[in-house]
Amino acid sequence: MIYDVAIIGAGASGLMVASQLQDKNVCVIDRNSKIGAKIKVSGGAKCNITNKYLSAKKYLGNEEFIKEVFKTFDNNDLLKFLNKNGVKQILNEKIVKGTYFCKSSDDVISMFKKLTTNVKFYLDIAVEDVEYEDNIFTIQTNNKQIKTKKLIVASGGLSYPSLGATDIGFKIAKNFGHNIITPNPALVGFTVQKDQFWFKELSGLSLDEVHIKVGDKVCKGSLLFTHKGCSGPVILSTSLYWQKGQISIDFLPTKKSYLPKRFKSAFLVNHNEKELREYKMSPAGNFGYTKAEVTKGGVCIDEINVYSMESKLQPNLYFAGEVLDVTGELGGYNFQWAFSSAIVLSKKLKEVS
């Protein structure tokens, strides 16, 4: 059998594509034994699905490319899609302003199960290589060959290795001549240098509102001190933009800002009060892929058609979601990108026979 469309990855983008192509002969291949493994654990199992304040400025990547994709399918379109399919959302801004959560991640997975009843799933199967000959892709897995006319790589990045994350998407892209922007963990906590070892003494303590300047970006949110260094929403978003070098922390960004005595005591041992508004530090590194929520970097989007997500280098090869060099801040932005890029791709595939 030769499939019309084969999708590598049963995550958000892969499932969204599959749900849109019920009239075609489609298969989905995934390393996990169940679909939506990363959806399942996201947002504390409540799936932080999108953000009220969607903007291309909330992403690391080509802003114009991202804007163009959102013209086709934005946060309002996603909310309508979810409502139409019986998935309720709740606006919960406790962690990140504007974040929509679902009642349960299982609701999203159940929705996709209902929308993909005609799709063939090859689960618990690892893709090892892909070849292209005579207008057909041959996908070599660890136990069979799968042939398809069109191939969609929606395999995600390297975060959550415990859920089967691998670099197969990057390998496939490279095989067909694509450049890969160096992948790195993102939305992840920072380890600290010796000057910040006092952070570790405050492990478990959180500050409600902190502003961090990293390059030309300012990230806002709560900060958590950990036994490794620091984490929390503001640090996770900062990690998206940080490469190396200094960041500047404002521990007192508003008149209402409150600093616990425990923090003040530790801070003032080696610093003066003026530094509370502009504390400069250089993170040592981050907690790595096992703790990272996403992977930044990926397939260079200069080589991707923004109107179809098709490779400019290889006909009938498409990419969607996290495997591309587009990464959002914390707060539902990455699910939105996964779904939006998938819809752009799906609409194009519907147009062709």
Structure confidence at residue 207 (pLDDT):
97
Q: 160 lies in which domain range?
A: 2-184+295-351
Domain-terminating residue out of 269, 286, 303: 286
State the sign of the Cα–Cα–Cα–Cα dihedral 165, 333, 327, 173.
Answer: positive
> How far, in Å, CA of 263 to CA of 203, rounded?
10
Domain-terminating residue out of 268, 286, 304: 286
Q: What pLDDT digit, counting tens, does each position of 254-272 carry?
A: 988 889 999 999 999 989 9
SS3 239: helix
Q: What pLDDT digit, counting tens, does each position of 14-35 carry?
A: 999 999 998 999 999 999 999 9
Same domain, 178 and 220: no
CB 189 within 8 A of CB 286: yes
Q: Which amino acid is at 323?
A: V
Same domain, 272 and 301: no
In sequence order, what DSSP letters do the residues of 263-303 get, joined into one string?
HHHHHHTTS-GGGGSSEEE---EE--TTT-SEEEEEE-GGG
> How far, in Å, CA of 298 to CA of 311, rounded?
14
**Smallest Cα–Cα separation from 54: which of 43, 42, 67?**
67
Structure confidence at residue 218 (pLDDT):
97
Q: What is the CA radius of gyration of the chain?
A: 21
Same domain, 174 and 281: no
Query: What backbone phi and psi angles, to 5 degrees, belong to 206?
Result: -125, 150
Same domain, 213 and 109: no
Q: What pLDDT digit, counting tens, does each position of 120-167 carry?
A: 999 999 999 999 999 999 999 999 999 999 999 999 999 989 888 999
Tokens 């300012």 appear where?
A: 218
Give the helix/strand (H/E) hosting 200.
Answer: helix 198-201
Same domain, 33 and 18: yes
Domains of the chain: total: 2
Domain-terminating residue out of 260, 286, 312: 286
Compute CA distances 71 → 31, 54, 77, whole Å: 32, 12, 10
Same domain, 242 and 213: yes
Structure confidence at residue 332 (pLDDT):
97
In sequence order, what DSSP letters do the residues of 147-164 get, joined into one string?
EEEEEEE----SS-GGGT
Same domain, 133 and 28: yes
Mean pLDDT of 53-70: 98
State the sign of the Cα–Cα–Cα–Cα dihedral 21, 25, 30, 32.
Answer: positive
CB 181 within 8 A of CB 325: yes
Structure confidence at residue 154 (pLDDT):
98
| Number of Cα atoms under 13 Å in the Cβ half of residue 326 | 31
| CATH code of the domain containing 214 | 2.40.30.10
What proportions of the chain, in percent to the nearest 5, are helix, strand and coil? 35, 30, 35
Give the helix/strand (H/E) hosting 315.
Answer: none
Q: What pLDDT digit, counting tens, does each position of 268-297 carry?
A: 998 999 999 999 999 999 999 999 999 999
Q: What pLDDT digit, counting tens, does each position of 232-252 carry?
A: 999 999 999 999 999 999 999
**Mean of per-residue pLDDT scores for the chain:** 96
Same domain, 221 and 344: no
Q: What's the pLDDT band for 41 if we cut at 50, 70, 90?
A: very high
| CATH code of the domain containing 158 | 3.50.50.60
SS3 323: helix
Same domain, 131 and 19: yes
Q: What pLDDT digit, counting tens, does each position of 93-128 carry?
A: 999 999 999 999 999 999 999 999 999 999 999 999
Same domain, 141 and 204: no
Judged against a pLDDT cut of 60, whether residue 80 lies above it is answered with: yes
Q: What pLDDT digit, counting tens, does each position of 162-201 carry?
A: 888 999 999 999 999 999 999 999 999 999 999 999 999 9
Structure confidence at residue 353 (pLDDT):
55
Query: What backbone phi and psi angles, to 5 degrees, belong to 107?
Result: -65, -40
Same domain, 194 and 180: no
Structure confidence at residue 318 (pLDDT):
98
Query: What backbone phi and psi angles, to 5 degrees, belong to 198?
Result: -65, -20
Lowest-confidence region among 207-216, 249-258, 314-323: 249-258
Same domain, 173 and 317: yes
